[in-house]
Amino acid sequence: MGGLGGLPFVGKTGFKAYSHHVPKDGNIFIVFAPHIGVAEDGLIGKISRPGQDHLDSACGAAIGGYNTCKGGAAAGGNGALDPYDPQFSFII
């Protein structure tokens, strides 16, 4: 059920399909949580990943959505959400 930014991005159809696998009288456990990096120096939104020599964004999709909103533009860059990038458009 995962997607960008930790959003469960399967919609009604995916959730319905998933729920059909629950045993009779069973339960579904859903976790929703975007991952937000914290660098060793306390910088929020950045993380040092093994094998890389620079700080990287985490969660890049959430930060990208925030920066897009902060800049006053939507995913398409012209005020319209991008129909070819529905997960990012949803985050925005």
Tell me the pLDDT tens digit for each residue of 14-68.
888 888 889 999 998 877 776 788 999 999 889 998 999 999 888 888 888 888 8
Query: Is the distance from CB of 52 to CB of 79 less than 8 angstroms?
Result: no
Radius of gyration (Cα) for the chain, nearest Å? 17
Q: What is the pLDDT of residue 26?
A: 92
CA-wise closest residue to 30 among 15, 20, 17? 15
Domain count within the chain: 1
Where residue 75 falls among pLDDT bands split at 50, 70, 90?
very low
In angstroms, the Cα distances linking 46 to 59, 60, 64, 79 are 8, 9, 13, 28
Q: What is the pLDDT of residue 36?
A: 85
Which domain range does residue 9 map to?
Answer: 4-91
